């Protein structure tokens, strides 16, 4: 299953990159995130592998995330004509996901965030979930983007229940 979501954020790309790159901000906009800790490498660096834990309702999901592409690798002083690529692979029980994010300077004070998601499922139950509920995956991805936008533009923290 593949799909693409996108959102415009009313902030310069440099500011958006700073906020996305700061692990302290992740729980403020990534619903259900309990833990995101590097186990090999440094947060936000190419090749880094991290342990990621989410709680969604009564369900707990643990996965391994690996940064597979970061271009340019130095995120400081990037010309506005350069598209930033940030790709990750996330593997958990019964599923694999490739997340390919692009951050584009759409203007001096506007950033376009495009995100391509690809999922593969193992096991009968996970394949069934993927077949029966494909729209829920897209909806969740779009919700994460909207939550980040609200956090970046207005300081809204999803843990406070103010969305």
What CATH code would you report for 2-31+70-156?
A: 3.30.530.20
Give tens-digit pLDDT for 57-108: 888 999 999 999 999 987 777 888 899 999 999 999 888 999 999 999 999 9
State yes or no: pLDDT of 125 exceeds 60.
Answer: no
Q: Is the pLDDT of residue 147 over 50?
A: yes
Residue spans per domain, the chain: 2-31+70-156
Amino acid 162: pLDDT: 46
Say whether pLDDT at 11 is over 50.
Answer: yes
Instruction: With a cut of 80, say whether residue 161 has pLDDT above it.
Output: no
State the pLDDT confidence band at 123, using cuts at 50, 70 and 90.
low
Bigger pLDDT: 30 vs 121: 30
Q: Alpha-carbon distance 65 to 41, whole Å?
A: 12
- pLDDT of residue 21 exceeding 50: yes
Name the nearest CA neighbour of 112 among 1, 5, 2: 5
Q: What is the mean pLDDT of the chain?
A: 89
Handedness of CA 30, 33, 35, 39 (dihedral sign): negative
| pLDDT given at position 105 | 94
| pLDDT for 29 | 95
Buried-state track 115-152, b at ≥16 Cβ within 10 A, e below 16: bbbebebeeeebeebbeeeeeebeeebeebbebbbbbb
CA pseudo-torsion sign 116, 34, 59, 154: negative
- Given a cut of 70, is residue 126 above it in pLDDT? no
Angle, alpha carbons 45-48-51 (nearest 5°): 125
Q: pTM of this prediction?
A: 0.87
């Amino acid at each position: 299953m593949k799909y693409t979501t996108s959102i415009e954020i009313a902030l310069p790309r440099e500011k958006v990159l700073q906020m996305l790159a700061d692990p302290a901000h992740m729980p403020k906009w990534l619903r259900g995130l309990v833990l995101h800790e590097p186990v090999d490498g440094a947060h936000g660096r190419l090749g880094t592998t991290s342990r990621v834990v989410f709680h969604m309702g009564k369900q707990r999901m643990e996965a391994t995330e690996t940064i597979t592409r970061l271009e340019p690798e130095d995120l400081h002083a990037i010309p506005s004509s350069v598209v930033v690529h940030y790709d990750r692979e996330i593997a958990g029980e019964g599923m694999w996901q490739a997340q390919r994010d692009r951050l584009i300077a759409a203007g001096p004070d506007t950033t376009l965030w495009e995100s391509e998601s690809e999922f593969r499922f193992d096991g009968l139950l996970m394949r069934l979930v993927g077949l029966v509920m494909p729209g829920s995956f897209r909806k969740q991805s779009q919700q994460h983007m909207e939550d980040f936008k609200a956090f970046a533009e207005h300081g809204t923290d999803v843990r406070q229940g103010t969305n």
